[in-house]
Structure formats: structure tokens, C-alpha cells
Amino acid sequence: MIVFIVFSIIGILTVMVTDLADESYFFDNYVSSTIEQEQIFYISDAGIKAVKRILKEDQNSYDALNEAWSQQMPVQLDEASLVIQAVDQERYLNPNFLVKENGEIDEKYLEMFQRLFAVVRIDPVIIYNIIDWIDPDTSTSGGEEDYVDFPAKNDKIDTVEELKLLRGVTQEVFNGKEELGSYTPGLKDLLSPYSNGKVNINTASKWVLMALDEEIDEGLAEAIVAFRQKEPFTNINDLVKVGGITSDIIYRIKPFIDVKSENFIVYITINLGERKYKLTTHLNKRGRLVKEMWRKLY
């Protein structure tokens, strides 16, 4: 995206430059764009370092929304202002887990996806479109294996935006919808390819919690959310303290839940002079080790 912006700036400048017939003017402006890009990366480093430090210092047994890492962080520097927001990815379901390493469908994940799509009223055929997009074979599991302009990827999903390429994933399916004053989330607020596959019951939305088990209805999911606002879950067995959650439910969902998170996407908005930039980075946390996986500038 930045390359595109740089080139469109060059495009505009070229017109001006031709008029001025001044090649050095054009060159200086190109360089200043590149320097600005480097400056943004440099400025972002300060923000990313701050989030990394917060995550490193967070050594308790759980990750919850009332903790420091989850708070929006405004940062004022001499030349720029930043707004930083970290979002743990274990609050979402990972679509890549629908397909096992051997290429077969993971039936347990399929059941979770079927429940999730039912509660947010998204066409369940899209689940099979996702499966066929990921699975290595080219025969259909009930979804769309090939598209008119491009074949299915037959590999893991890398970004949540990739889901927009799939048949049936409309703007509304992706972004969610507002109906009769009530909001239903779309895929971008339910799924993440960066999650380790275990849903954090301290951060997951009620819709994702409802996907975990058929006995977790809306009332029970809301009870979980209300409970953790007063007292975060420090152990998955603490769920039994929520009225209505039986030990049978805990036994069934145990392999798919956790009370902590491992992957964090950090969104940084940078105001530099007249311009606004968005930088996204993926931090992976294991114990005291916090590693930056990638960084993207928009």
C-alpha cells in the first residue's frame, strides 16, 4: 500500500516536475517519502517497545481485558502522536484449525464453526468454502474449490482479509451488521489466523463463547462475561463458579479453552504532521519472551 502511495505521489510530482523540468526536485521528494517511511518505523518502535515491555512484565497466570496490555495507550512524541491498541487473538476462532495437518476436517472445530455461524446467522456453506480454500486437495467438501478468476489457495489462511476472497463473504458477512438496534458481528470480529487455537475465556466475545458448546446459550455466555468483569478466570476450572456452567460442559470444552493469550495484534495510529498512518504488528508471547512476528504499514 505504501509503495502504491509513494508511486502515486511520484505520479503527481512527475506532472509538476515535467512543468518545472527540474529532475532534482523530483528526486528530493522521492527521498523524503522514503525517509518519512523510515521515520514512521522508527517512531513505531517506541510504541511497540512499550507494548512489549507491558507484555513481558505481565507474568500472572491469566490475560484479561482489565489488564494493562488491553488498554488504549496514547503516546505524545516531539514530532508525532500515537494511539496504540493491543488485541489478543485468542479471543477469536482460528479458521486454519478446521483442517488437520493430514488434510482431513477437524470435526470438533467444524462443530464450533457451525454453532458460531448459526448464532451470528451467517450461511454455513461458507464454512465449507473456507475448508476447501485451506485443504490441500482439489475435491470439494461441500464448498467452493475453484473460482472463476483464481483457484482455491489449498493452503492456510494468512490474513483475516483473505476471507473476503471466498464466495458468500459479502461486506456484511465480513464486517457485521446493525439490525433493529442490535449488532451482529462479522467474520473480522470472530476469526483470526493468528490464534493458537485455544479460546481465552477472559477475552472472547459472547458469540465465540457460545460456539464452544451447545449448552452455552446466550444467557450463559453473558453470565460468563459478567462474571469475568468482576473477577477474571485464573484457571479454566473457575468456570464452575458461573451459575449454570456444569462440570460436564467444562470437561467438553477443556481442550479448546485457556485463561491466557499468546498472540497479540497491535494497532498503532500515527499522526505525523498533516498525515495519518496505520501500522499493525503481531507480537507472540511465550513466558517472558515476546517476539515481533511481522509489521505492516498502511
Nearer to Ca ion, 67 or 215 (CB): 67
Nearer to Ca ion, 88 or 213 (CB): 88
* Sign (positive or negative) of CA dihedral 136, 139, 141, 144: positive
> Per DSSP, which regions of the chain are E strands?
73-76, 80-88, 177-179, 182-184, 199-200, 257-258, 263-272, 275-286, 289-297
Report the C-alpha gap between 8 and 11 in whole angstroms.
5
Report the C-alpha gap between 253 and 236 in whole angstroms.
10
Smallest gap, in angstroms, from Cβ of residue 268 to Ca ion? 21
193 close to 159: Cβ distance less than 8 angstroms: yes
For Ca ion, the binding residue among 29, 37, 58, 236 (CB under 5 A) is 58
For Ca ion, the binding residue among 86, 98, 115, 132 (CB under 5 A) is 132
Smallest gap, in angstroms, from Cβ of residue 141 to Ca ion? 8
Smallest gap, in angstroms, from Cβ of residue 108 to Ca ion? 20
The radius of gyration of the chain's CA atoms, rounded to the nearest angstrom, is 22
- 154 binds Ca ion, rule: CB under 5 A: yes
Smallest gap, in angstroms, from Cβ of residue 19 to Ca ion? 53
How big is the CA angle at 209 (ends 203 and 212), to the nearest 5 degrees? 130
Smallest gap, in angstroms, from Cβ of residue 220 to Ca ion? 25
Q: Which of residues 60-99 bind Ca ion (CB under 5 A)?
A: 60, 63, 67
For Ca ion, the binding residue among 90, 135, 189, 262 (CB under 5 A) is 135
Give the binding range for Ca ion (CB under 5 A) out of 135-143, 158-166, 189-197, 240-248.
Answer: 135-143
Nearer to Ca ion, 132 or 258 (CB): 132
| Burial zone of 42 (CB within 10 Å; 0-12 exposed, 13-18 middle, 19+ buried) | exposed
Q: What share of the chain is helix, strand, coil (3-state, %, to 5)?
A: 45, 20, 35
Give the binding range for Ca ion (CB under 5 A) out of 4-12, 21-29, 154-162, 221-229.
Answer: 154-162
Q: Which residues bind Ca ion (CB under 5 A)?
A: 58, 60, 63, 67, 132, 135, 152, 154
